[in-house]
């Protein structure tokens, strides 16, 4: 993929003796939304910082927009937008000034940033709050402002590091809607997240990272198809009458035992439920659901993602 916006080969990052990223290959095509999925400490943010040209790589090759971050950092940064994990808005400036001054850092003319700021305030639904200081905004509003700020230079590539962590469901959905609109406008996005539903909502393609390496790669549907079954039957038992995983195994393709429940991977959850009950195991509660990326992650790493 030579027209990739981002291409990494054997990319590594170490901090002293700690290796945060241990040799990854990544290709991000123009126009796609690409996800890094993984638990805290998987190496997602370190990778993002390298792509954002604010962290020199320790080994491997990396090209962003066809340039080398080690050589052309400022030139690359001029064409990308960054939404960091933690909001770092300028608390000494108003909401509007945050956008206008940020635009000036890119060398954009005053008149242009004025118009751009008005447009972005509208996009982030913050026009009424334009004169407020940042402190007066809610968490969701700050996040929207941070995203609006990252768009001030009309970036070709947008880097979003855990864009909705810590937001309530309503604020998350509003953000997802905004990101989806950007995708339709053709802005390539790279998203890190440890939320499965977010990855499934947003990403065309993603990699699952764990311990600094890539454990799997594909579209959400591909990954589910490859590493999981169509349906999952979740069973909870009374601790006194809890069967062993081995006893359940012949009713499903695969069984995962979690502290509070069993996950039975199967094509038809209802039928499996009937089989299990027929075999004399009576669960306290049961739930049939579609497989999700959470199941993929569990399969790949043997752990749940967010504990």
The residue ranges that bind another protein (CB under 8 A) are 15, 49, 52, 54-56, 70-75, 77-78, 81-82, 84, 86, 88-93, 97, 101-102, 104-107, 133, 150, 153
Smallest distance, another protein to C-beta of residue 175, A: 19
Question: Among 181, 191, 82, 163, which residue's Cα sits nearest to residue 123?
Answer: 181
With respect to another protein, which residue has the nearer C-beta, 124 or 298? 124
The owner of tokens 């999981």 is: 228
- The CA-CA-CA angle for residues 226, 232, 238, to 5°, reads 145
Say how far residue 38 (Cα) sits from the centre of its chain: 8
Smallest distance, another protein to C-beta of residue 119, A: 19
With respect to another protein, which residue has the nearer C-beta, 47 or 291? 47
Smallest distance, another protein to C-beta of residue 74, A: 4
Question: Among 151, 302, 146, 286, which residue's Cα sits nearest to residue 227?
Answer: 302
With respect to another protein, which residue has the nearer C-beta, 1 or 86? 86
With respect to another protein, which residue has the nearer C-beta, 49 or 261? 49
With respect to another protein, which residue has the nearer C-beta, 79 or 205? 79
With respect to another protein, which residue has the nearer C-beta, 107 or 280? 107
What is the strand order of the sheet 157-161 is part of? 80-83, 157-161, 188-193, 33-37, 205-210, 213-218
Smallest distance, another protein to C-beta of residue 271, A: 52
Smallest distance, another protein to C-beta of residue 153, A: 8
Smallest distance, another protein to C-beta of residue 104, A: 5
- The CA-CA-CA angle for residues 33, 39, 43, to 5°, reads 75
H runs (alpha helix) in the chain: 44-51, 69-77, 95-105, 110-123, 139-150, 169-184, 196-202, 220-227, 245-249, 269-278, 293-301
């Amino acid at each position: 993929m030579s027209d990739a916006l981002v291409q990494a080969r054997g990319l590594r990052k170490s901090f002293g003796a700690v290796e945060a990223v241990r040799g990854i290959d990544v290709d991000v095509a123009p126009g796609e939304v690409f996800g890094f999925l993984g638990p805290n400490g998987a190496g997602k943010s370190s990778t993002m910082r390298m792509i954002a040209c604010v962290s020199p790589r320790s080994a491997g090759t990396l090209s962003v927009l066809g340039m080398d971050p080690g050589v052309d950092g400022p030139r690359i940064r001029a064409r990308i937008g960054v939404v960091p994990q933690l909001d770092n808005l300028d608390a000494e400036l108003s909401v509007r000034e945050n956008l206008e001054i940020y635009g000036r850092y890119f060398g954009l003319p005053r008149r242009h940033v004025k118009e751009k700021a008005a447009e972005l305030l509208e996009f982030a639904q913050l026009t009424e709050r334009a004169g407020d200081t940042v402190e007066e905004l809610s968490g969701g509003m700050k996040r929207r402002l941070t995203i609006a700020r990252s768009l001030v230079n009309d970036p070709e590539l947008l880097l979003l590091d855990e864009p909705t962590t810590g937001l309530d469901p309503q604020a998350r959905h509003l953000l997802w809607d905004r990101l989806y609109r950007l995708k339709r406008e053709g802005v390539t996005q790279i998203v890190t997240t440890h939320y499965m539903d977010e990855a499934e909502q947003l990403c065309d393609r993603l990699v699952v990272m764990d311990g600094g390496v890539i454990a799997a790669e594909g579209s959400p549907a591909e990954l589910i198809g490859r590493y999981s079954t169509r349906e999952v039957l979740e069973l909870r038992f009374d601790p006194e009458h809890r069967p062993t995983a081995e006893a359940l195994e012949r009713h499903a393709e695969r069984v995962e035992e979690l502290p509070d429940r069993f996950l039975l991977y199967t094509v038809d959850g209802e039928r499996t439920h009937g089989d299990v009950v027929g075999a004399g195991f009576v669960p306290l509660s049961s739930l049939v659901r579609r497989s999700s990326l959470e199941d993929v992650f569990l399969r790949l790493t043997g752990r749940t993602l967010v504990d």
